[in-house]
Amino acid sequence: MADDPFALFDAWFAEARASEPNDADAMALATADAEGRPSVRMVLLKSADRVSGFTFHTNSLSRKGREMADNDAVALLFHWKSLRRQIRIEGRVASAPVAESDAYFATRGRQSQLSAWASDQSRPLGSRAELEERQAAMEAKYAGEDVPRPPHWHGYRVEPRTIEFWSDGAHRLHNRRLFTRGEDGAWSEGLLYP
């Protein structure tokens, strides 16, 4: 048994990046509103480490952003079908530092930067033409200039409390390894029935 779930995550993630045909960094993000009504969607992992946890970026005014503001308990799920593996993570989410969000935003493609301004993510949209007009307006506004990061677009970090590694087994005798972080920050490991 290992005592460091991040070392195991790094190994599995490296294998997924080598074998998954698309988006090995895609993870399901589950949130819940203040009343506990759940919602789930895919986001992209930007970094994972022992200090910062699992980082992704999004619009804080979107449904997920509003839900994370109301309820910081979240769950993540990586599913790598080609490897017949998944990793489940549960923990608390918090905003990443502004400088980190600025640095990552600067690496995004220009059209993606502009769309961060053009889209009122998760809000009703009257027509596709309306979105395309807003995108064109942002292109005109920032013509010949760097596109600044919108104040509502930033990074989030999930500090894991549990990390479960699941791998497929014959006859549904799957392997489930559960790492749990104690109050002292140390990880303990156990097994779960499949």
Token digits of residue 84: 């017949």
SS3 3: coil
37 catalytic per annotation: no
Maximum C-alpha span of the chain: 60
Q: What is the C-alpha to C-alpha distance for residues 57 and 158, in angstroms, rounded to an integer? A: 11
Token digits of residue 23: 């988006």
Active-site residue, selected from the candidate residues 172, 176, 177, 181: 172
Q: What count of Cα atoms within 13 Å lies in the side-chain half-sphere of residue 122?
A: 13
Contact 131, 125 (CB under 8 A): yes
Q: Output the CA torsion 124→128→130→135 (10° steps).
A: 110
Q: Apex CA 56: angle with CA 49 and CA 21, to 5°?
A: 90
The residues annotated with a catalytic role in the active site are 172
